[in-house]
Structure 1
């Protein structure tokens, strides 16, 4: 009976643990596991000369349990208020996933080269493999190892630059019929701040000090503010501390839902920052009117229902806009443009979410040539 009692307690604890795991973390962990074994099959099956290197094989083996340990730390941090659990877990899992992804892409790109040379040698020699061809292929495989090494260096550079000085580009916008009161209006647009292991509150504070020097008239935040719930309210406090004549306003992103939307709403309720969700408000600027509409986020934009939700949210956000107002639409998803444009009346859309499709160089995404119709 005692065994059954403890087994029931363990089962109840596991049920509570699993119920509290965010879906995005389950998805990310599953994606990592699939990526790991796909890379393992690719390396062991095609790039065998790499696999025969002892240190490489050991490093590859150890990455798996260490990354999963990071995921476990992330889960435990939701139940125990221990800052290092969340910080270490997120850093381990994110960094190892990035390195594994870079290596997989490099190995995948090199596979046709290695297989092509192997087939060429076999065809040229009538199916018999001479020692010279084996040595040549081994030299080629080892020589091409520089490519995944460059990928790892690229990931390291990306992580490093996340800690360096953030650029704040100024984008001038010109409108032929802009009311005189809105001429020279400065809008500070912040999105996808993601306060967490890579971006600290101190980093945001330093950025806002620089931003305040530009004397913004209006501040807008389009979602994904903070990835660490205990610091969410402190992040909002920092944002509202920046002086702006016409205030600070925000819309939701998908990470707000991932972190628990009810808790996030309570944080906003404790600040002076209006959270605009499927609604808007008019801000008088002298004799002119500036209308700010906030779009809700569909969490996952994949199914027809999620696109319909986004369209409905856009329509509701701008439905109360006065005809003579300058209308600014705040949307975490840039796809809101597809639904706002046919409605007319929206003068400016500010969005985020894509992070430039994550991979790029010199401020441009590698994916731009492949997705010319996408907002990246």
Structure 2
């Protein structure tokens, strides 16, 4: 996909490049290439919403994203991550896209399926496509890996998470915005309007459209938190569909009805650096207002 570079964008990127070169130096270069990319920030958040059924109070969801295996993130790092996730004992696990950096050169399909299969989540594991999952004719490979690993791959559809008391929430997922064909209407077609719904979208900027649907929470990745951030300046470069929402929490919609969380992801792409944008594993604990009130 071609990206139109405006004069303002060009100046911003050029200035950022100069600041980066001046600020990193030898020590900063080593830190940004060898140290920070191997760090892990486990962020913990509480999600409180009136639409959450009381039975889901205390349910734990773990989100990981953007591993980009094969560029800088290794299979060994993935195994360490899986061990950490399992120690967190999540009820739900979601992956928000970009598993492999370049599917054309990935040769360890059987091994990665075995590794991802070891992730434990009694209420389910769910995933969506990222742009790199489609790139290099990788769509079918990604589908095979995720489904054979026990993940439900949501491609413009949804899944119902139901408790024994009959209460439920929904998880919807849309295709990637850059190289796929996202269809929010199709993904929401089977979901009752009064349900608590989580949308998985690799691209965070789709929140602008998602806010027009009865969706309470959107989980995204793609941005890498800018991957390189300059003090008092911000992200050096953000990709298309992650230009407005870069990291952390936001609200969207006319009445701020949708809460968006943008995960910084785990790997890197294009440049093998992270600076002031640590790799992230996000843990969300649901709090029902019906229980807490």
- Aligned CA distance change for structure 1 residues 159 and 272 (closer, same or farther; 3 Å): same
Corresponding residue SS for 2:211: helix
- CA distance, structure 2, for counterparts of residue 232 and residue 365 of structure 1: 37
Could you tell me which runs of 5 or more consecutive residues in structure 1 were left unpaired when the two chains were aligned.
1-23, 28-100, 110-145, 301-305
Q: Does 1:254 align with 2:166?
A: no
Q: Which residue of 2 aligns with 1:314?
A: 184
Paired residue total: 226
What is the aligned-residue RMSD (CA, Å)? 3.1
Q: Does 1:333 align with 2:203?
A: yes
Q: Which residue of 1 aligns with 2:32?
A: 158
Q: Which residue of 1 aligns with 2:57?
A: 183
How far 1:239 sits from its partner (Å)?
2.5
Structure whose alpha-carbon radius of gyration is higher? 1
Q: Which residue of 2 aligns with 1:34?
A: none
How far 1:226 sits from its partner (Å)?
1.8
Listed one character per residue, the Cα deviations across residues 257-292 of structure 1 (whole Å, up to 9, x for unaligned) are 114212322333433211110111212123221211
Corresponding residue SS for 1:266: helix
Give the TM-score of the pair, scaled to structure 1.
0.54
Native 8 Å contact 1:328 1:346 kept in 2: yes
Listed one character per residue, the Cα deviations across residues 137-180 of structure 1 (whole Å, up to 9, x for unaligned) are xxxxxxxxx96373554343221124533111111111134211
- CA distance, structure 2, for counterparts of residue 234 and residue 162 of structure 1: 26
How far 1:353 sits from its partner (Å)?
0.1
Q: Which has the higher helix share?
A: 1
How far 1:231 sits from its partner (Å)?
3.1
Listed one character per residue, the Cα deviations across residues 30-57 of structure 1 (whole Å, up to 9, x for unaligned) are xxxxxxxxxxxxxxxxxxxxxxxxxxxx
Q: Which residue of 2 aligns with 1:131?
A: none
- Aligned CA distance change for structure 1 residues 213 and 254 (closer, same or farther; 3 Å): same
Listed one character per residue, the Cα deviations across residues 87-116 of structure 1 (whole Å, up to 9, x for unaligned) are xxxxxxxxxxxxxx999922xx6xxxxxxx
Native 8 Å contact 1:318 1:329 kept in 2: no
- Aligned CA distance change for structure 1 residues 199 and 103 (closer, same or farther; 3 Å): farther
How far 1:221 sits from its partner (Å)?
0.5
- CA distance, structure 2, for counterparts of residue 285 and residue 337 of structure 1: 28
Q: Which residue of 2 aligns with 1:347?
A: 216
Q: List 4+ stretches of structure 1 deviating above 4 A.
A: 101-104
Q: How does 1:218-229 map to 2 (within 5 A)?
A: 218-227=92-101, 229=106
Native 8 Å contact 1:327 1:348 kept in 2: yes
Native 8 Å contact 1:102 1:152 kept in 2: no
Native 8 Å contact 1:251 1:331 kept in 2: yes
- CA distance, structure 2, for counterparts of residue 361 and residue 184 of structure 1: 37
Corresponding residue SS for 1:170: strand
Q: Does 1:235 align with 2:97?
A: no
Q: How does 1:135-146 map to 2 (within 5 A)?
A: none
- CA distance, structure 1, for counterparts of residue 174 and residue 110 of structure 2: 21
- CA distance, structure 2, for counterparts of residue 280 and residue 170 of structure 1: 25
Q: Which moved more, 1:217-226 or 1:278-287?
A: 278-287
Corresponding residue SS for 1:297: coil
- CA distance, structure 1, for counterparts of residue 81 and residue 31 of structure 2: 21
How far 1:238 sits from its partner (Å)?
2.1
Corresponding residue SS for 2:212: helix
Q: Which residue of 2 aligns with 1:266?
A: 144
Corresponding residue SS for 1:235: helix
- Aligned CA distance change for structure 1 residues 237 and 314 (closer, same or farther; 3 Å): farther
How far 1:338 sits from its partner (Å)?
0.7
Q: How does 1:107-122 map to 2 (within 5 A)?
A: none
